[in-house]
Amino acid sequence: MKRIVVLGAGMVGSAIAADLCREYRVTAVDASRERVEALAAEHPLTGQVADLSRAEIVRSVVRDADLVIGAVPGFMGFATLQAIIDAGKNVVDISFFGEDPFALDALAQAHGVTAVVDCGVAPGLSNMVLGYHAPRMTVEAFRCLVGGLPAVRTWPWQYKAPFSPIDVLEEYTRPARLVEHGAIVTRPALSEPEPVEIAGVGTLEAFNTDGLRSLLVTMRQVPNMAEKTLRYPGHIDLVRALRESGFLSQEPITAGDSQVRPIDVTAALLFQQWRLGRGEPEFTAMEITVHGQEGETPREYVYRLLDRTDERTGTSSMARTTGYTCAAAARLVLEGRFTRVGICPPEYVGADETCFERVLADLAARGVQVERALG
User: What is the 3-class SS of 127-179, one letter each residue?
Assistant: HHHHHHHCCCCEEEEEEEEEEEEECCCCCCCCCCECCCHHHHHHHHHCCEEEE
pLDDT for residue 162 is more than 90: no
CA distance 85 to 75: 17
Q: What is the pLDDT of residue 278?
A: 73
CA distance 290 to 287: 10
pLDDT tens digit sequence for 115-154: 999 999 999 999 999 999 999 999 999 999 999 999 999 9
Phi and psi at residue 359, to the nearest 5°:
-60, -45
Q: How confident is the model at residue 270 (pLDDT cuts 50, 70, 90)?
A: very high
pLDDT for residue 163 is more than 90: no
Q: What is the pLDDT of residue 277?
A: 78
Residue type, 151: A
205 forms bridges with which residues in the sheet? 195, 231
β-pairing verdict for 91-93 and 194-198: unpaired
For residues 344 and 117, the answer to whether their CB atoms sit within 8 Å is yes
For residues 299 and 293, the answer to whether their CB atoms sit within 8 Å is yes
Q: What is the pLDDT of residue 259?
A: 94
Q: How confident is the model at residue 281 (pLDDT cuts 50, 70, 90)?
A: very high
Torsion of CA 38, 42, 46, 49, to 10 degrees: -10
Q: Give mean pLDDT, residues 248-254.
A: 93
Q: Give mean pLDDT, residues 255-280.
A: 89
Q: How confident is the model at residue 171 (pLDDT cuts 50, 70, 90)?
A: confident
Q: How confident is the model at residue 166 (pLDDT cuts 50, 70, 90)?
A: confident
pLDDT for residue 167 is more than 90: no
Q: Of 31, 32, 27, 36, which Cα lies nearest the Cα of 6?
A: 27
pLDDT for residue 193 is more than 90: yes
Q: What is the pLDDT of residue 48?
A: 97
CA distance 138 to 152: 41
3-state secondary structure at position 55: helix
- Domains recognised in the chain with CATH numbers: 3-121+318-369 (3.40.50.720), 125-308 (3.30.360.10)
Q: pTM for the full model?
A: 0.95
Task: Let me know if 106 is exposed, middle or buried by CB neighbors in 10 A (0-12, 13-18, 19+).
Answer: exposed
Q: How confident is the model at residue 279 (pLDDT cuts 50, 70, 90)?
A: confident
Q: What is the pLDDT of residue 269?
A: 92
pLDDT for residue 220 is more than 80: yes
Tell how far CA 350 is from the center of its chain. 16
For residues 226 and 179, the answer to whether their CB atoms sit within 8 Å is yes
Q: What is the pLDDT of residue 301?
A: 98
Q: Give mean pLDDT, residues 246-251.
A: 94
CA distance 209 to 206: 9
